[in-house]
Amino acid sequence: MADLTTNFLGITTPNPFWLASAPPTDKEYNVRRAFEAGWGGVVWKTLGEEGPPIVNVNGPRYGAVWGADRRLLALNNIELITDRPLQTNLDEIARVKKDYPDRAIIVSLMVPCTEESWKAILPRVAETGADGIELNFGCPHGMSERGMGSAVGQVPEYIEMVTRWCKENYDKPVIVKLTPNITDIRYPARAAKAGGADAVSLINTVSSITSVDLDDFCPEPAIDGKGSHGGLCGPAVKPMALNMVAEIARDAETAGLPISGIGGVTTWRDAAEFMALGAGNVQVCTAAMTYGFKVVQEMISGLSDWMDQKGYESTDQFIGKAVPNVTDWQYLNLNFVTKARIDQESCIKCGRCYAACEDTSHQAIWMKEGRVFEVNDAECVACNLCINVCPVEDCITMERMEAGQTDPRTGRVVSDDYANWTMHPNNPAAQAAE
Ligand SMILES: Cc1cc2nc3c(=O)[nH]c(=O)nc-3n(C[C@H](O)[C@H](O)[C@H](O)COP(=O)(O)O)c2cc1C
Ligand code: SF4
Ligand code: SF4
């Protein structure tokens, strides 16, 4: 069986699956059961400064997006950081860490943006024996209006400044958790690195309104007839998270900066994808909230089976393996020509591919006598929309044209050579270069 042991920032855990800072990690009772279920580490629910505990709403705190089968695709929350007393959390962290030395406990922190506030909390966290801290610069609701969370994460200079304070006043690893609510993730990541961060973790939740009650005309979750934006997480945010992880992994200024991947990880495959794009481990929240702590056992066995099948003995062997294959559009091979192919045996004659191609693509699917659907290569631009709307998996596939064949759509002979936009005759910049 493949060895899932993961070393992230010198912290060794039995597997790369950590629980993200959120309700699953907000107390000793939960974290102990999470470790018993098999989680490799946890990031404790964000702690705030000493003082009167945080106040949460007393009505619903979640909105949701469901698939047609009512599978939960996303949660939208308006919960704040921990509302339990600081010392209670610190005592519990110390106790659990002592009993589970082989698991990671990272303490998530969010205090006001002053050096005194950070200097006050860091020694108290250090005393717990936790393995490191994660700076919550990501929470987009409630705390951001008080100048914390994403209000810090949206200003690279603040990220760098606070990270530096933490590095100067705390000896163990400092992970900076980034908000996706920005235009270009590379700037906050670069700022974290400049401040001395040992790693970045991403993404925190995406600012969102999931739905509006059309009787009360109120965004959900509704609190006495009013709603506010919340933070979106779960499977629906994974594509955005993957892209941001990849952007950081391939940016020359942050390449090599360790990344903890977060956002919609529900299965072992999601985790493997984050890791292939450069994440050294993953953090999970919504999947645990949807399926319970034991979901990690499926992740562990799935990842381990896949690694065995592929011949990977350790996670290091595939971490970052997809990064060299992430490129900019302008470098994609324009000589890569494919055509759609419909497998008549598995086709159920629903006609979705026809409607999609006829009305919104390139009128490249014929509907013949008896609802037989066939592709007209002379019109097919290979967009693959038909595959994506077809309800039968693998019923439509894309077939690559071989070099020497003539593409009936363009009349051009397909070439083996690699040719991208930077060298294309229609590109004014390419012409100027000549
Ligand atoms: C109810 C709830 C509370 C959360 N609280 C925190 C928090 O206190 N600190 C933090 O850094 N992230 C918090 N998060 C964000 C998660 O840690 C994580 O970044 C996000 O949910 C994306 O991961 P997922 O798609 O696996 O849920 C919270 C998420 C949820 C759903
Ligand atoms: S790949 Fe695009 S253009 Fe070709 S048949 Fe499918 S939908 Fe039409
Ligand atoms: S969408 Fe798929 S199943 Fe439906 S007609 Fe087209 S090929 Fe057949």
Residue nearest to atom 15 of ligand 1 (CA): 204
How many CB atoms are located within 10 Å of the residue 144 CB? 21
SS (H, E, C) 332-401: CCCCCCEEEEECCCCCCCCCHHHHHHHHHCCCCEEEECCCEEEECCCCCCCCCHHHHHCCCCCCEEEEEC
At 138 the pLDDT is 80
Q: Please, which pLDDT band fits residue 307 given cuts at 50, 70 and 90?
A: very high
390 lines ligand 2 (CB under 6 A): no
CA distance 252 to 149: 27
**Ligand 1 pocket mutation pick from 80, 205, 260 by most atoms within 8 angstroms of CB:** 205
CA of 371 to the centre of ligand 2 (A): 17
273 and 304 in contact (C-beta within 8 Å)? no
CA of 145 to the centre of ligand 3 (A): 50
Q: How many CA atoms lie within 13 A of 120 on its CB side?
A: 14
CA distance 18 to 280: 11
Answer whether residue 434 shows pLDDT above 80. Answer: no
Answer whether residue 328 shows pLDDT above 90. Answer: yes
Residue nearest to atom 2 of ligand 1 (CA): 22
Instruction: Express as a percent the part of the chain with pLDDT over 90.
Output: 91
Residues 349, 352, 355, 357, Cα dihedral to 10°: -100
CATH superfamily of 6-325: Aldolase class I (3.20.20.70)
- The 10s digit of each residue's pLDDT in 66-82 is 999 999 999 999 998 89
Count Cβ atoms within 10 A of the Cβ of residue 217 and give its class: 0-12 exposed, 13-18 middle, 19 or more buried. Answer: exposed
Record: fold of 329-433 = Alpha-Beta Plaits (3.30.70)
Containing 308, the helix (H) or strand (E) segment is helix 295-310
The encoded tokens of residue 285 equal 């929240």
Peptide bond into 53 cis (omega under 30): no
CA angle 305, 310, 313 (to 5 degrees): 75
Answer whether residue 148 shows pLDDT above 90. Answer: no
409 lines ligand 2 (CB under 6 A): no
**Ligand 1 pocket mutation pick from 285, 291, 293, 299 by most atoms within 8 angstroms of CB:** 285
CA of 358 to the centre of ligand 3 (A): 13
| Residue 223 DSSP class | B
- The 10s digit of each residue's pLDDT in 111-131 is 999 999 999 999 999 999 999
The mean pLDDT value of the chain amounts to 96
How many CB atoms are located within 10 Å of the residue 225 CB? 9
Peptide bond into 387 cis (omega under 30): no
Q: Which residues, including other chains, have CB under 8 Å from residue 301's CB and lie 6 or more apart?
A: 268
The encoded tokens of residue 126 equal 């250090």
Q: Please, which pLDDT band fits residue 241 given cuts at 50, 70 and 90?
A: very high
The position carrying tokens 């800072």 is 21
367 lines ligand 3 (CB under 6 A): no
CA distance 116 to 133: 17
Residues with CB under 6 A from ligand 1: 20-23, 45-46, 75, 77, 79, 81, 108, 136, 138-139, 177, 204-205, 233-234, 237, 262-265, 284-287
Answer whether residue 431 shows pLDDT above 80. Answer: no
- Beta-bridge partners for 43: 106
Ligand nearest to the CA of 82: 1
Answer whether residue 152 shows pLDDT above 90. Answer: no
Residue nearest to atom 8 of ligand 3 (CA): 347
pTM over 0.85: yes
Q: Please, which pLDDT band fits residue 339 given cuts at 50, 70 and 90?
A: very high
Residue nearest to atom 6 of ligand 3 (CA): 353
Query: Could you give the residue range(s) of every CATH 3.20.20.70 domain in the chain?
Result: 6-325
Nearest ligand 3 atom, CA 343: 7
Ligand nearest to the CA of 368: 3
Determine the straight-line distance between the first and last CA of the chain, rounded to whole angstroms.
56
| Residue 421 DSSP class | G
For residue 27, give the 3-state DSSP assignment: coil
Count Cβ atoms within 10 A of the Cβ of residue 127 and give its class: 0-12 exposed, 13-18 middle, 19 or more buried. Answer: exposed
- Beta-bridge partners for 374: 366
258 and 169 in contact (C-beta within 8 Å)? no
Mean per-residue pLDDT for 290-300?
A: 98
Q: Is 139 a catalytic residue?
A: yes
